[in-house]
Structure 1
Amino acid sequence: MEMAELSALLTPGGLRLLDSLGDIASTGDVAAAVTRLRRDGHSPDLVSAAVGQARLRARARAKFGGHAERMLFTRAGLEQSTRLSLAAHHAGRFRAAGLQRVADLGCGIGGDALALAALGLRVDAVDSDEVTSAIAAYNLAVFGDAVTVRCTRAEDADLTDVDAVWLDPARRTAGHGATVRTRPEDWSPSLDWVLDLLTRRPGGVKLGPGLDRALIPDHVEAQWVSADGSTVELVLWSGAVARPGVRRAALVTRGERAWELTAAADAEDAPVRDLGAFVHEPEGAVIRSRLIGDVARSLEAGMLDRRIAYLTGDAASTSPFVSTFRVRETLPVSTAALSKALRARGIGTLEIKKRGVDVDPAALRTKLTLRGDDAATLLLTRLGDRRVAILADRVEAAG
C-alpha cells in the first residue's frame, strides 16, 4: 500500500466503504469488487486500498481472530506479525517480570504492541516505514495515551524512560510486498545490534525458528514455539524477562491451550532401541530446542535412530510434546509392493510422513493405488542403514 492509498482510506467514507465489502478471498472476488467500485465512481486509490485491505483482513483472521475486522495491514506486515495468542504469551512475560513500559522496536502493524497494551503496559512503538507506522497508529489508537507510535529507526529510538525492549527485526526488503528472507546482518535492525542491546536491556527478540544456533548467545533464554502443529518462531529473552536457570524452552500451543518444557541446557539424547508398539514424533519446538531426550525419558521411550527425530516405545502417550502413532506393522518400501499391501488392507485414506529418507510424499501418493474404507498413517524413515515403511494409526492428542 502506498501513502496516497492509505490517505484515501483513512477517511470516514473510506473506512465505511471498507467495512461494507465483507469477505474478499479470491482473485475473482477482487476483480468483481474492483469493477463494481470503479463503476460506482470511487477513486483508483480508494478502490485499491479498500479491496486490498478487505482481502488482507480475511487472511488475518487466522492470526488475529475477530480483531482483524477492526485492523489495517500491509501484506509483509501481516506475514511477519505474531499471531495474537502468542503475542499474549510474550506480553505476559513482561508483566510477570514487573516491567511497566516497553519499547516495541520495529512494531510492524502493531500486533505485539496490541497485546502488551491490552495487559496494561505502556508501549513506545516505532517502525521505520511511514505507511507501516501509520497503520500501527490506527490499530493501536484504541489504547489512547498508553501507546505512542513514531516513524523512526529502532536504532534511533529514545529508550530513556522504558523498562524493557521487544524487537521483531524486519526480514524483508524495502516496500510492503512479500517478505524476503535475508542474512541476519541485513535485517533491520541487524541481529548484531539487537543482541548487543539485549546485553544492556531486559527484553526479547522474535526470530525465525531455523536461526543458526551458533548465533544464540550464552546469556539468553532461547524459547522455540510451535503453534497448532507448526514451528513458528524462536524468541530470545534477556535480563529480567529471562527465567533463572532456563536456557532452553519449547512452548507448544493448540488454540488457547499451552504447554512448556524447559531446561538449563540441551538434553542428552535417549538411547536407540528397537521398534516398539508406538512411534512418537516430537513437536518442532522440542526438536529445535534439543529437548528430545527429556521427552523420550518422560515417555519411557528411546530413539528409533540416533540421527532421526522419531521416538519409539511400548507405552501409549497423549503428551502434548509429541504426536503418537500406534504401530500396526512394517511394510515393503518399494512403491509397487507398498501399493499392493495397502490395497490388500483396504486403506483408502493415507497420511504420509517421512524423516531421514529422500521421498516426496505428494509424489508417492500419486503412485499408490489406494482403495477401501480404512484410514492409516505411513511413516517412512530409516533404521540404521535400512529404509522402513511403518503402517500406523494416530493416537488422539492431548487437548
Structure 2
Amino acid sequence: MDLDTFRALLTDEGQAVLAAVHDPDPAAWPATPTALRRDHPAELVAAAVEQARLRREAAAKFGADAQRMYFTRDGLDRASHREVAEYKLGRVLDEMGVVFLDVFPLGVGADALVLGWSHAVTAVDGDPLNVAVTAANAAALDAQATIWIEQQDLTAYEPWGEAVFVDVAGPGAPEGGRGPQDPVPSLTWALDTVRGVGAGAVRLGPDVPYGSVPEGCGADEAEWISWEGEVQEVVLWWYGEANPAVRVPRRATLLPGGATLTGRGLPAPAVRPPGRYLYEVDAAVVGAGLVAEVAEEVGGGVLDAAVPACVTSDEAHATPFATAYEITEVLPYDPAAPGAGGLAVRQHGCAAEAAELGRHATPGGDGADTAFLTRVAGEPTLLLVRPAG
C-alpha cells in the first residue's frame, strides 16, 4: 500500500469500503470485491480488504483497539505487543524520571502511542507512510494531545527529549550507515544516539542471544521479554545519570504476569542424566543466558550443554521461569518406534530428528502425554512426560 492509497482509505469513500469488508466472513459482505470494484478504485478495495485482514490479525497484539487502528504488513510485524509496550512504559515511569521523549522510527506507532499515555512524545520517521499511519492511529486512539509526529530523515534529526527510544527490531537493519529510504536505523547509529542523550532504550528483535549484545555498548541492562513463552523483543536500557536504579547486566521478564529474573554471575549449569523432573525453561530466560539461575533454583542441571532449555532435577519445584513435567520414560531416538505414536512432540536441539520422527510415527496413544525430543549427553533422546503435580 502506498501513501496515496492509504490517504484514500481515510476518506469517506475509503471508510465506506472498509466498513463493507469489515466482517471476517466474506459471505456477509454487502457486495463481493468484484462488485465493489465496479463502484470504487480497485486499489482502494484491495487496500480495504488487506486492512480488514490486518486488523483481525492485530487483535492478538492490540485487543479491541485493533479494529480502530491502521496497519501495514511490516508495521504490524514489527509492532510491540500492547502488554509489552505497557510493561516498558511502567519501567520508564518507575526508573527514568523523565517527561519528554523522542521515539523513532515508528512503524504503526505502537510504542510511541503507549509512551504518550504519560509523556510528551516526539515521534519521528523518514517514511511518509509510517508517519501517516501513526498519525491516523493517534487520532483513532485520541492521543493527538500527547504526541508530536514529524517526517524527517533520522540521521539529520537532533533529539530534544530527556530520553530517546530507537527501534531497530525491523528485518534487515543495516549495521553501517543508512539512507533516508532504509526501513530502520543501524544498530551503531542507534547506540550512538541513545548514548549521546544518556537515557532511553534500543529495541532489538527477538532472536538475539545474549552473547551477541554488543560488548561495551554502555547499556545499563539488556532485557529479554517474552509473551506466553515466546520472546517478543530484546531491549537495551539506559536509565540516566540521575536514576538510582540498580544496574544489572541481563534480565529476563515473562509476560503476562511480570516475573523477572536477573543474572547473578553463576557458572554454567552442570550436565547430568535425566532425573525425575524436566523443566522447560522460558525462552526469555534462555535468550538472556540465565538458565544457571533456574537450574540452581530447582536443584538441577541441563541434559546437554548445547540445549539450555531443558533442565532436569530429582526435585519438584514451582518456578515461574520454567514449565515442570514429570518424566515417565526415557527412550533412545528411533523415528520408527511406536512409542512416539499419537504424542505431542516438543523438540529442543533436534529439529532434523523431529522432522524424521513426524514422517515415521504411527497413530496411537490417547494423546494425554507429551514427548520431548532433545539431546542427552549429545545423543537424540525421547523423554515421555506428563505435567508435574
Tell me whether the two structures share a fold, i.e. TM-score over 0.5: yes
Partner SS, residue 359 of structure 1: helix
Q: Any residues of structure 2 matched to 1:74-93 within 5 Å, and which?
A: 74-93=72-91
The residue type paired with residue 184 of structure 1 is E
Residue in structure 2 matched with residue 245 of structure 1 by the alignment = 247
The match for 2:203 among 196, 202, 206 is 206
The residue type paired with residue 247 of structure 2 is G
The 3 A distance-change label for structure 1 pair 200 and 394 is: same
Q: Is the 8 A contact 2:173 2:187 kept in 1?
A: no
The match for 1:366 among 359, 370, 377 is 359
State the shift of 1:211 in Å: 3.2
Residue in structure 1 matched with residue 371 of structure 2 by the alignment = 378
Counterparts of 1:242 and 1:223 in 2: how far apart (Å)? 18
The residue type paired with residue 192 of structure 2 is D
Residue in structure 1 matched with residue 172 of structure 2 by the alignment = 181
Counterparts of 2:317 and 2:363 in 1: how far apart (Å)? 29
Residue in structure 2 matched with residue 163 of structure 1 by the alignment = 162
Counterparts of 2:244 and 2:13 in 1: how far apart (Å)? 47
Counterparts of 2:205 and 2:244 in 1: how far apart (Å)? 19
Residue in structure 2 matched with residue 193 of structure 1 by the alignment = 189
Residue in structure 1 matched with residue 295 of structure 2 by the alignment = 296
State the shift of 1:29 in Å: 9.7
Counterparts of 1:5 and 1:94 in 2: how far apart (Å)? 36
Structure 1 length-normalised TM: 0.86
Q: Is the 8 A contact 1:24 1:51 kept in 2?
A: no
The 3 A distance-change label for structure 1 pair 211 and 273 is: closer
State the shift of 1:375 in Å: 2.1
Q: How many residues were matched structurally? A: 373
Q: Any residues of structure 2 matched to 1:63-102 within 5 Å, and which?
A: 63-96=61-94, 97-102=96-101
Deviation string, structure 1 residues 211-265 (Cα, Å, up to 9, x no partner): 36344244311001111121121100013379423110001113xx22111136x
Counterparts of 2:81 and 2:244 in 1: how far apart (Å)? 21
Partner SS, residue 144 of structure 1: coil
The 3 A distance-change label for structure 1 pair 354 and 101 is: same
Residue in structure 2 matched with residue 174 of structure 1 by the alignment = none
Q: Is the 8 A contact 2:165 2:194 kept in 1?
A: no
The residue type paired with residue 185 of structure 2 is P
Deviation string, structure 1 residues 297-350 (Cα, Å, up to 9, x no partner): 1111122223321111122234221122210011242223x21x356xxxx3x1
Partner SS, residue 251 of structure 1: strand
Residue in structure 2 matched with residue 387 of structure 1 by the alignment = 380
The 3 A distance-change label for structure 1 pair 131 and 365 is: same
The 3 A distance-change label for structure 1 pair 217 and 124 is: farther
State the shift of 1:374 in Å: 4.2
Counterparts of 1:15 and 1:330 in 2: how far apart (Å)? 59
Query: How high is the sequence identity, in percent, across the aligned residues?
Result: 32
The 3 A distance-change label for structure 1 pair 77 and 316 is: same
Residue in structure 1 matched with residue 8 of structure 2 by the alignment = 8
Counterparts of 1:253 and 1:362 in 2: how far apart (Å)? 30
The residue type paired with residue 390 of structure 1 is L
Structure 2 length-normalised TM: 0.88
1:127 and 2:136 are equivalent in the alignment: no
The 3 A distance-change label for structure 1 pair 323 and 25 is: farther
Partner SS, residue 184 of structure 1: coil
Partner SS, residue 145 of structure 1: coil
State the shift of 1:13 in Å: 3.5
State the shift of 1:86 in Å: 0.4
The 3 A distance-change label for structure 1 pair 316 and 170 is: closer
The 3 A distance-change label for structure 1 pair 222 and 331 is: same
Q: Is the 8 A contact 1:4 1:45 kept in 2?
A: no
Structure 2, unaligned stretches of length 5 or more? none
Counterparts of 1:243 and 1:56 in 2: how far apart (Å)? 39
1:285 and 2:284 are equivalent in the alignment: yes
State the shift of 1:71 in Å: 0.5
Q: Is the 8 A contact 2:115 2:121 kept in 1?
A: yes
After alignment, is 208-217 or 72-81 more displaced?
208-217
Counterparts of 1:158 and 1:68 in 2: how far apart (Å)? 32
Counterparts of 1:247 and 1:191 in 2: how far apart (Å)? 19
Deviation string, structure 1 residues 171-221 (Cα, Å, up to 9, x no partner): 3xxxxxxxx435433663111111112222200011113336344244311
The 3 A distance-change label for structure 1 pair 380 and 85 is: same
Counterparts of 1:372 and 1:381 in 2: how far apart (Å)? 21
**Structure 1 vs Structure 2 CA RMSD:** 2.5
Residue in structure 2 matched with residue 229 of structure 1 by the alignment = 229
Counterparts of 1:358 and 1:286 in 2: how far apart (Å)? 21
Q: Is the 8 A contact 2:169 2:204 kept in 1?
A: no
Residue in structure 2 matched with residue 34 of structure 1 by the alignment = 33
Q: Is the 8 A contact 2:304 2:378 kept in 1?
A: no
The 3 A distance-change label for structure 1 pair 244 and 334 is: same
Counterparts of 1:359 and 1:29 in 2: how far apart (Å)? 44
Deviation string, structure 1 residues 58-98 (Cα, Å, up to 9, x no partner): 11111111111111111111111111110111112222222
Q: Is the 8 A contact 2:279 2:324 kept in 1?
A: yes
Q: Is the 8 A contact 2:347 2:374 kept in 1?
A: yes
Partner SS, residue 258 of structure 2: strand
The 3 A distance-change label for structure 1 pair 61 and 93 is: same
State the shift of 1:170 in Å: 6.4
